[in-house]
Amino acid sequence: MNSPDGTKIVTASNDGIVQILEADSWKELHRFEGHTDWVRSAQFSPDGKRIITSSDDKTIRILDADNARELQKLEHAGGVIFAAFSPDETKIVTGSKDGTTRLWDAGLEKALQQFEGHTGEVHFIAFSSDGEKIVTCSRDDTVRLWDVASGKELQKLEGITGDYPFASFLPDGKQIIVVSGVGTDVSSQIWEVATAAANDSEAVETESAENWIPLFDGESTEGWAIPGYGGDGEVDVRGGNLVIGRGTTMTGIRYEREFPKNNYEIRYEARRTQGYDFFAACTFPIKESFCTFINGGWGGGLTGLSNVNGYDASENPTTAYFEYRDNTWHRFRIRVTNDRIQVWIAAQDREGNWGEEESVIEIETEDREFSTRFEVERYKPLGFTTWNTEGQLRNIEYRMIER
């Protein structure tokens, strides 16, 4: 890949080395040897001052283009095939072996959005010139158009032939050129996206909404049981919300109907109205095991999974802290698939507008044991609990995921 001014070239290699070369002579100027596996891509930033690399070692590195010094490091759950800056350099987009595409805040080094739909590795991504859309190319023989702000799929082009297609927006932003094949067997096509994208966006949103299955009707606790722990608060429905009252210890509710064990998502909205501890902890199944997502424990901010390899949310790889404002609705989304558990959180501002969803947990399940603390045993397979705290929940629903 050439630098914007044409004076340098950066190379990616299967030996894990990144080289910065002089364009005219191909003389090595600098090298980076921090990756521990195949470097899949290396790109200059639009201003040419930085280089972004992606690797099978599950990391993305940002380097100083003048000396190859590492400036930042982002970590993935799996190998990363491609990475690039947005046109304004405030965001980073990455494509991975697991078929997901992620959007990152380049300054805060945190994931902002995840784009899901591809069933094969994502090996090429391009931003539109305004940074509002991305196009992704995958080994699943599709090219997809996405809205950056919402993460929604806008359009899909299927039946792409040839290995490793790539795509790019034409200058008007209304067309995409898609090229596939190798050697002399290369084909290209122009994809009109302006009108079709808007129509497809509506279709995707409707389909997504229909896939979610409600677990709480906003009127009663039908389908739920209250096991009782000892020192419980009252559990009832008020104003369309499921209210788990403040007890002296744990209070909770358990879902009594059939619920999946794998390849599903559950999401719900909750707020803490009294107390200082977790206000809507969710115990959920992971194949034949169970685990609990803790939100707001240990004085109000602890977030994580209990238990991972016998360690609770305060002392395992998922341990995190999130600022939960009292009397503020938060939206939680938990995803359980064959190889990992992921959790996202969004919060309303003081005007009631939803903020961007933030990824707080992503952990691979292979070679890890998941379990629950004894206090929540009676809330399996699916339940919600509070500790010396009143929590209110609404919009509890789930959907299956095709993997």
Averaged over 69-74, what is the pLDDT?
92
CB 305 within 8 A of CB 386: no
% of the chain with per-residue pLDDT over 90: 63
CATH class given for the domain over 8-211: mainly beta
Dig out the tokens for 30 from the structure: 């600098």
If we measure between CA atoms, which residue out of 246, 399, 375 comes closest to residue 313?
375
Averaged over 205-219, what is the pLDDT?
71
Give the per-residue pLDDT at 208: 43
373 has a pLDDT exceeding 60: yes
Give the per-residue pLDDT at 185: 63
* pLDDT tens by residue, 27-36: 999 999 999 9
Averaged over 137-145, what is the pLDDT?
88
* pLDDT tens by residue, 377-387: 999 999 999 99
Mean pLDDT over all residues of the chain? 88
Q: What does residue 42 show for φ and ψ, rounded to 5 degrees?
A: -145, 125
Give the per-residue pLDDT at 186: 67
Q: Which residues of 71-92 are buried (b: 16+ CB within 10 A; e: fewer)?
A: eeebebbbbbbbbbbbeebebb
Q: Which residues of 120-134 are buried (b: 16+ CB within 10 A; e: fewer)?
A: ebbbbbbbbeebebb
206 has a pLDDT exceeding 70: no
* pLDDT tens by residue, 274-300: 999 999 999 999 999 999 999 999 878
The Cα–Cα gap between 11 and 9 comes to 7
Using a 10 angstrom Cβ sphere, with 0-12 exposed, 13-18 middle and 19 or more buried, the burial of residue 333 is: middle
Averaged over 208-228, what is the pLDDT?
85
CATH class given for the domain over 214-400: mainly beta
122 has a pLDDT exceeding 80: yes
Averaged over 342-348, what is the pLDDT?
95
Give the per-residue pLDDT at 209: 44
Give the per-residue pLDDT at 80: 93
| Secondary structure in 3-state letters for the chain | CECCCCCEEEECCCCCCEEEEECCCCCEEEEECCCCCCEEEEEECCCCCEEEEEECCCEEEEEECCCCCEEEEEECCCCEEEEEECCCCCEEEEEECCCCEEEEECCCCEEEEEECCCCCCEEEEEECCCCCEEEEEECCCEEEEEECCCCCEEEEEECCCCCCCEEEECCCCCEEEEEEEECCEEEEEEEECHHHHHHHHHHHHHHHHHHCEECCCCCCCCCEECCCCCCCCCEEEECCEEEECCCCCEEEEEECCCCCCCCEEEEEEEEEEECCCCCCEEEEEECCEEEEEEEEECCCCEEEEECECCECCCCCCCCEECCCCCCCCEEEEEEECCCEEEEEEEEECCCCCECCCEEEEEEECCCCCECCCHHHHHHCCCEEEEECCEEEEEEEEEEECCC
pLDDT-derived band of residue 303, with 50, 70 and 90 as boundaries?
A: very high
* pLDDT tens by residue, 35-46: 999 999 999 999
CB 152 within 8 A of CB 163: no
The Cα–Cα gap between 328 and 326 comes to 5
Give the per-residue pLDDT at 161: 64
For the chain, the domains span: 8-211, 214-400
Q: Do domains 8-211 and 214-400 have the same CATH topology?
A: no
Give the per-residue pLDDT at 342: 95
The whole-angstrom distance between residue 295's C-alpha and the CA centroid of its chain comes to 18
* pLDDT tens by residue, 148-192: 888 888 888 887 766 677 888 887 777 888 887 665 566 777 877
Give the per-residue pLDDT at 184: 58
